[in-house]
Each structure stands twice: as C-alpha cells, then as structure tokens.
Amino acid sequence: MTGPAAGLVVFDLDGTLVDSATDLAAAVSALTEELGGRRLTRLEVIGMVGEGAAVLVRRALTAAGVDPATPGATHRFLALYDARLLDTTCLYPGMRAVLDALDPLAALAVLTNKPAAPAERMLAALGVREYFIEVVGGDGPWPRKPDPAGLVALRGHARGGPMVMVGDSPVDAETAARAGATFVLARYGFGAAAFTSGPTMHVAASPHALADVIPEALRAARDRD
C-alpha cells in the first residue's frame, strides 16, 4: 500500500479479479465423473458458482444425476480443485494496472466465498496479494455472501470514507446492498450473465474499465455521503 486516501474497495475474487472458470469446471467434472455422473460443461458450471463450494457441489451433483447429499462430496471437490487451482487461472487482462491505479485512492480488500487458504494461495501465485489489506474467505468467522457480515467487518479499513464492492454476480450485488456499500458490476465476469435487470449501478464492461468506473463510484459515494 502507498498510503491510500480514505475509502475502501472490496473485490470479489472468481469472475472479478481472476478468470478461474476452466479450473473450477475441470474440478467439478472430475468429481461428478468419479461419482458416476456425467461430465458438466464449462457453461453449466460457471452458472453454479458464487455461493460457496458446498452449494456448487450440490448443484453440480444434481445436474450430473448424482445424489446431492453424497457424503464427503464437498471435501473431495476441494481436494480435486486444489490440485487444479492454478492450471489455467489468471488475472483478467489489465487487472494489475487497475490495482496500481486504485492503490493511492483507497484501501483494497478481497471478500470471497472461496475458502481463505486457496484464495490467499491464488493471489500470491498471481503476484497481487500485496495490494490487499485483508482477504476474507468463505470459511472465516462470518457467514458467506450474500450475508453482509464479512463486508461490514471490513468497513473499518475505509477510515471514514466510502466503501465500494466490486463483483460479477447477483450475490455480490445483494451483499453490497445489505451492507450499504456502492456496487460496481464487473460485467465481463462469468457470473454477470445472471443480471437481466435491476437498480442503477456502476458497470465496468471490461477489466480495463474498472480503472475509470471505480474512482467514479468512490466520488459518487463521497458526494452522496
């Protein structure tokens, strides 16, 4: 950090900072095939992502024709995914430059439903962990998104300034609304297809656009406050 101005920008991880869809889909299909079900397509899997591993596994097993209550399925999925965590996952193009541009403007954090250990490992491997003052995972002391508790807990890092949540899914939008944060939709993310209509929000059509859209959202939030 370089001494940011008062304010906080909280990023979702999968589908917002990183494109992890291929590795997630590979792990899900490895699980469903191992349990005697069919292989799921990448498109099917990304439509199931966003509410944590247990929800993803239940949805995937149901779609694959496997008992969604299969004992140990979530634990096995996490092991399969851990082995593939960084096979193809990468930062979205231009994301490092976006973080460089935002660093002086506000504190930066990550709020994800992914467990904290793989989230930390992913960010470190991709060379961006140092940008974030805190990384909150879905297995921490607070309930997973869309419960706003994790986002509210990060509010102190704003130092009295505005808080902006950046995400690609309706889960992220609901989390921001329930926490009283301004929401920026990462329209390029794989969860954004679920948005068909909704309240006015700040929208970034591409990762590069975040460098302009997030400062606008911070200014608008300051003006409103």
> What six digits make up the tokens of 53?
């591993």
Cα–Cα distances (Å) from 72 to 31, 33, 52, 143, in that order, read: 11, 15, 15, 21
- pLDDT tens profile 8-65: 999 999 999 999 999 999 999 999 999 999 999 999 998 888 788 899 999 999 999 9
56 forms beta bridges with none
Asked whether residue 150 carries a pLDDT value surpassing 90, the answer given is yes
Interatomic CA distance for residues 85 and 151, integer angstroms: 25
SS3 96: helix
What CA–CA distances, in Å, run from 25 to 49, 73, 129, 210, 220?
Answer: 10, 15, 24, 26, 37
Q: What is the CATH number of domain 21-82?
A: 1.10.150
Question: 108: closest CA among 137, 89, 129?
Answer: 129
- For 61-92, the pLDDT digits (tens) are 999 999 999 999 999 999 999 999 999 999 99
Q: How many CB atoms are located within 10 Å of the residue 136 CB?
A: 23
**pLDDT, tens digit, for every residue of 156-172?**
999 999 999 999 999 99
Domain positions in the chain are: 8-20+89-224, 21-82
CA distance linking residue 225 with residue 217, whole number of Å:
12
- Amino acid at position 34, single letter: E
pLDDT for res 225: 67
Q: Residue 16 and residue 175: Cα distance in Å, rounded?
A: 15
Q: Would you state the structure tokens that stand for residue 4, as one six-digit string?
A: 């940011």
Which amino acid type is present at position 96? R
Nearest to 189 by CA among 16, 2, 69, 47: 16
As a whole number, the mean pLDDT across the chain is 93
- Cα 91 from chain centre: 12
Please indicate whether residue 12 is annotated as part of the active site: yes
Scan for tokens 């299909």, then name that residue: 29
CA angle 138, 62, 116 (to 5 degrees): 15
Q: What is the CATH number of domain 8-20+89-224?
A: 3.40.50.1000
Q: Which of 12, 14, 168, 172 is catalytic?
A: 12
Q: Do domains 8-20+89-224 and 21-82 have the same CATH topology?
A: no
Burial category of 71 from C-beta neighbours within 10 Å (exposed 0-12, middle 13-18, buried 19 and up): exposed
Q: Cα dist. 7→155, 166, 189 in Å?
A: 9, 14, 24
Kindly report whether the peptide bond that precedes residue 146 is cis, defined as omega within 30 degrees of 0.
yes
